[in-house]
Amino acid sequence: MYKRTISLTVAAALAVFGTQVVHARGFGGAHAGGGSSAGGSHGSSYHGSSQSGGYHSSSSSAETYHGANGASAAHGSEGTVAKGPEGNVYAHPSSSGNAYHGAEGATYAHGAAGYSAGHTALPTDAGYGMAAPRTGTAAYAGYHQTEAVSGSVAAARGAAVRNSYNGYGMYGHGWYAANPAAWAPAGWTAGQAWGTATWPMVGTSLGWGNAAPISYDYGTNITYQGDQVYNGDQPVATADEYYEQASALAQSAPPPDPKAPDWMPLGVFALLPNDQSEPHYVMQLAVNKAGAVGGNYLDMVSGTSVPIHGAVDQKTQRLAWTVGDNKATVGETGIYNLTKDEAPALIHLGKDKTQQWTLVRLKQPQQ
């Protein structure tokens, strides 16, 4: 399903879900203009600004696209729809589902694992303003989540993610030609984005010498307890302060100049909730000797790629980033974490919501 590419023109034209309810009806058609339904085993519907027809694939996974004058939904074979208390529309396909909507929309598409995705408009952030890894958990202000994950569980999750990944050609000559606006350091050879960094390489590149690595093991040594963040058993910041630190760090370096020298690849990582194994979001990261972080963030469903802007702090070794034009949602991990194949990360959806996600190093696919 990830080989399908949705054009940026379609992605940029996505509109807002209204307050009406859409219904699943067997093998139905889709209609723009006043609400629509697509049901049965049809998996996808595509709607322009005034189209009255829809295109349906035979896939059981559901994806929803919205035109300027209509609200449409596609549901799997057991799809049902309910209207939320604020007039939001919730679409539940029987297998994995994806929803795209406008900047003012509040739309949630739930797959079989209960994943919900609510974000700002494509392509300015490629869906980076994500919602909860579990249904409804991020719908409430003040929600902060960390959880301990053992090494064996992380390794098994990483193996499952790499097994389901199919991104042949990504970050090769053809990919950059098809994505001319992608962030690409001067002088890199084809496929160099897939390079890995060891801890000694990081120390040498950043001028840190033989500094000892600091591991950000969220859920174990860095935890949220109510509105307080702890390092071990020591309180280090309030939740608001910890978010503000990450936000300030992410913006502390100038926009990453691809013409600057000495960009070192950190690798390509899937970014996903802890209960998912199919990588919808892929991050390619690099760091330069000044501690600036750059790269590309790719929504594999829509095919939208937007640049990453971030920085790493020498004292704390904390690395934070933002994506595209979205400055409110801030991701963070430790740079030492990025020398590993699997690593925890925090996604701050503003100061009131924090979720723990997983970064999984992806291997360059071979033909």
- Can you give the C-alpha Rg of the chain in angstroms? 20
In a domain, 129, yes or no: no
Last residue of a domain, one of 112, 142, 166: 112
Provide the H-helix boundaries in the chain.
8-12, 151-164, 173-178, 199-206, 239-250
Residue 108 pLDDT greater than 90, yes or no: no
In a domain, 131, yes or no: no
In a domain, 137, yes or no: no
Let me know whether 68 and 162 are in one domain: no
More confidently predicted of 93 and 197: 197
Let me know whether 287 and 227 are in one domain: yes
Q: In whole angstroms, give the CA distance from residue 343 to residue 337.
A: 5
Specify the number of domains making up the chain. Answer: 2
Q: In whole angstroms, give the CA distance from residue 132 to residue 174.
A: 34
pLDDT band at 366 (very low <50, low <70, confident <90, very high): confident
Residue 241 pLDDT greater than 50, yes or no: yes
More confidently predicted of 14 and 176: 176
Q: In whole angstroms, give the CA distance from residue 101 to residue 289.
A: 38
Let me know whether 189 and 317 are in one domain: yes
Last residue of a domain, one of 112, 140, 169: 112
* CB 298 within 8 Å of CB 290: no
In a domain, 227, yes or no: yes
Residue 73 pLDDT greater than 60, yes or no: no
Residue 79 pLDDT greater than 60, yes or no: no
Range of the domain at 5: 1-112
Let me know whether 178 and 104 are in one domain: no
Let me know whether 46 and 163 are in one domain: no
pLDDT band at 168 (very low <50, low <70, confident <90, very high): confident
Question: What is the average per-residue pLDDT within 263-283?
Answer: 93
Q: What percent of the chain has pLDDT over 90?
A: 53
Let me know whether 13 and 108 are in one domain: yes
Question: What is the average per-residue pLDDT within 237-250?
Answer: 98
In 3D space, the residue among 265, 289, 254 whose CA is nearest the CA of residue 188 turns out to be: 265
pLDDT band at 236 (very low <50, low <70, confident <90, very high): very high
Question: What is the average per-residue pLDDT within 171-188?
Answer: 92
In a domain, 180, yes or no: yes
Let me know whether 92 and 239 are in one domain: no
Let me know whether 329 and 213 are in one domain: yes
The dihedral built from the CA positions of residue 363, 364, 366 and 367, taken in this order, carries a sign that is positive
Which stretches does DSSP call E strand in 113-250?
A: 143-144, 222-225, 228-231, 234-238
What pLDDT is recorded for position 119?
52
Let me know whether 192 and 90 are in one domain: no
Let me know whether 266 and 314 are in one domain: yes
In a domain, 200, yes or no: yes
* CB 343 within 8 Å of CB 317: no
Dump pLDDT digits (tens) for 317-361. Answer: 999 999 999 999 999 999 999 999 999 999 999 999 999 999 999
Which residues, listed in sequence order, are joined to residue 330 by a DSSP beta bridge? 348
Dump pLDDT digits (tens) for 10-56. Answer: 333 323 223 332 233 232 233 333 333 333 333 333 333 333 333 33
In a domain, 323, yes or no: yes
Let me know whether 167 and 106 are in one domain: no
How many C-beta atoms surround the C-beta of residue 278 within 10 A?
18
pLDDT band at 233 (very low <50, low <70, confident <90, very high): very high
- Average pLDDT taken over every residue of the chain: 73
What pLDDT is recorded for position 9?
32
Indicate the burial class of 315 (C-beta count within 10 angstroms; 0-12, 13-18, 19 or more): exposed
Last residue of a domain, one of 63, 96, 112: 112
Q: Provide the 3-class DSSP secondary structure of residue 248.
A: helix
Contacting residues for 102 by C-beta, under 8 A, at least 6 apart = 14, 15, 16, 66, 121
In a domain, 122, yes or no: no
How many C-beta atoms surround the C-beta of residue 265 within 10 A?
21
More confidently predicted of 265 and 15: 265
What pLDDT is recorded for position 278?
87
Q: What percent of the chain has pLDDT over 70?
A: 63
Let me know whether 2 and 97 are in one domain: yes
What pLDDT is recorded for position 190?
84
